[in-house]
Amino acid sequence: MRKLAIVVVAIGLMGMAYADLQNVQVGGLIEMRGRWIHNTYNEGLASVTPLTGGPPSKFAWDETNDWKFYEQTTSLNISADFTDHVSAFIEFYDYTVWGDDFRSNYLTGVDTRPTDTKSNVVVLQSYIETNEVLGQPLRLRTGRQCMSFGNKFLISDKTTPTQRLSFDAVRATYTPTKTVTIDAWVAKLAENSPADEDGDADFYGVYGTYAKSDAVNASLYYMLLRDARSRANLLTGLGVGKPTSLALVSDNDASLLNVIGARIWGKYQGFDYRAELAYEFGPADSEALTFAAVNNLAGVQPGNEHWDSLGLDGEMGYTFDFNWKPRLFVGGAHFDGGKIQKLGNGDIVMWPSFNRLFTDTNYCPVLQDNGDMSNFNQIRAGMVVNPMDKVSVTLRAQQLWADQAWPGSSNNLGFHLDTVVKYQYSQDLLLMLYYGHLFSGDALSEGNFVHSYGNAFDRGRDNDDADYAFLMLSLKI
């Protein structure tokens, strides 16, 4: 596979030696968001030890953990077009929380060096693109690049509404007709050479789309994530540190997360619909280690864990053709939960829930989803209206349940109401206000494995209601 990637890169670079620069464009993006969170995730705080036992939890649900902060991202990109269908794109990116970088002490007047190492400027994207490769409708994009497909069900270019994601990859896009597009990619997620010859994590995929008309569109795809990292490297990547136990240092088999999926969508005479279904299978030794690390369970060993799970999401809507253009919609989602087993020695084994890979789809912001929830079911309904040309308002209600409840726990995660107001002040400036309220269910005080793709326990001391609000500004440069 590595040899194939090298050949693809070589083909993509053919003819570049004589390409001349034609034009250069500069652009960027500034995003700011102020967030207020009431009685939900304990970001950065010590884990809560549930009163009724179980693994430590990052949730309290007992009116003790209000917090707020302001975040900002800054992106600056440069694109250069050359002759012979060659172009290059570079984008610099910085994420920071207000107050992290202020270095002047008003009490003493002493200015210090920067100490925040988390908010450095990074290269988010840097790739070379060649079109019409070998005279065919083929585009090759080589280098660090953002990728998103479909409704971002599994692959997105963001991890949160403000934080962005990119891949070190080679991506080929073939468009033989106006209605057919086929994407294929090879991405490197983790590199551990030369210390570990076969200790990398790689991500492969093929994504085909048939767009016949506005009313009928379909995609089929296959993805493979191969994770051959050793236990030591895997646990270090999870922030746990290198294990000292000889049992944990020993090598493990590679995990092979296979994904087969399909998506359909369209709109016709006011109606719109979309649905996506994906099935995952393959050995999952890395999942057992992740589960043990997240829940501080020393000594948990892989025991033939494997993925065998479904994930689906669908929605239907209808837009009325009169004032405010109201759109009514209903939908739902399902993500298989893992099998839960308590062993006689007190250890807990949980086979993998559906892995949502690199999505940023947030089903329940008050539960601090940010794309990392699994092992749950959801039904939703709502309405979108446009009271003014530049303003849209979304109202949504949903009910959530754990798919595989922790033994003895309720599966009722709660009833959730939220609203989003968007004001497109200009073509480049967008203002967005969000507010959500969660009527918490008994499952939050009794505990379930829902967060971190079903790996993290979320039992609290109570099940008090929770709130989340943010105001966001986005300006394209």
Encoded tokens for 10: 């070589």
Phi, psi of 208 (to 5 degrees): -110, 140
What pLDDT does residue 398 have? Answer: 97
End-to-end Cα spacing for the chain: 39
Residues in the chain: 477
pLDDT of residue 442: 92
Phi, then psi, of 305 in degrees rounded to 5: -65, 145
Percentages (nearest 5) of helix, strand, coil residues in the chain? 10, 50, 40
The Cα–Cα gap between 68 and 86 comes to: 46
Q: What's the whole-model pTM score?
A: 0.88
Cα-Cα-Cα-Cα dihedral sign, residues 327, 328, 330, 333: positive
H runs (alpha helix) in 64-204: none
* DSSP, res 444: H
pLDDT confidence of residue 361: 93
Output the pLDDT for position 112: 76
**Distance (Å, rounded) from C-alpha 307 to C-alpha 310?**
9
Per-residue confidence (pLDDT) for residue 459, from 0 to 100:
82
Contact in structure between 61 and 440 (CB atoms under 8 Å) = yes
Position of tokens 């892989």? 302
Sort 286 into a burial class: Cβ within 10 Å, 0-12 / 13-18 / 19+.
buried
The vertex-118 CA angle with 42 and 298, nearest 5°, equals: 55
Q: How far is residue 472 from each of residues 33, 131, 179, 352, measured CA to CA in Å?
A: 4, 36, 36, 35
* Whole-number pLDDT of residue 249: 40
CB atoms within 10 A of CB 249: 13
Angle formed at CA 201 by CA 280 and CA 164, multiple of 5 degrees: 85
Looking at residue 243, what is its pLDDT?
Answer: 40
Beta strands in 178-294 (DSSP E): 180-190, 201-211, 217-227, 255-268, 271-283
φ, ψ (nearest 5 deg) of residue 96 = -145, 155
**What is the per-residue pLDDT for 203?**
96
58 within 8 A of 48, measured Cβ to Cβ: yes
pLDDT tens-place values along the chain, 477 residues long: 555 455 444 445 544 445 688 899 999 999 999 999 988 876 555 566 554 556 777 787 887 778 899 999 999 999 999 988 999 999 999 999 998 878 788 888 888 776 655 557 899 999 999 999 999 999 999 999 999 999 999 999 999 999 999 999 999 999 999 999 999 999 999 887 776 667 788 999 999 999 989 999 999 999 999 998 876 666 665 554 444 443 444 456 788 999 999 999 999 999 999 999 999 999 988 877 777 777 766 656 666 788 999 999 999 999 999 999 999 999 999 999 987 766 555 556 667 999 999 999 999 999 888 888 999 999 999 999 999 999 999 999 999 999 999 888 899 999 999 999 999 999 999 999 999 999 999 998 888 889 889 888 888 878 889 999 999 999 999
Angle at alpha carbon of residue 36, lines to 31 and 42, rounded to 5°? 110
Residue 246 has φ and ψ, to the nearest 5°, of -60, -30
Residue 315 gets the label, from left (phi > 0), alpha (psi -120 to 50) or beta, of beta
> CA–CA separation, 334 vs 257, rounded Å?
19
Coil, helix or strand at residue 304: coil
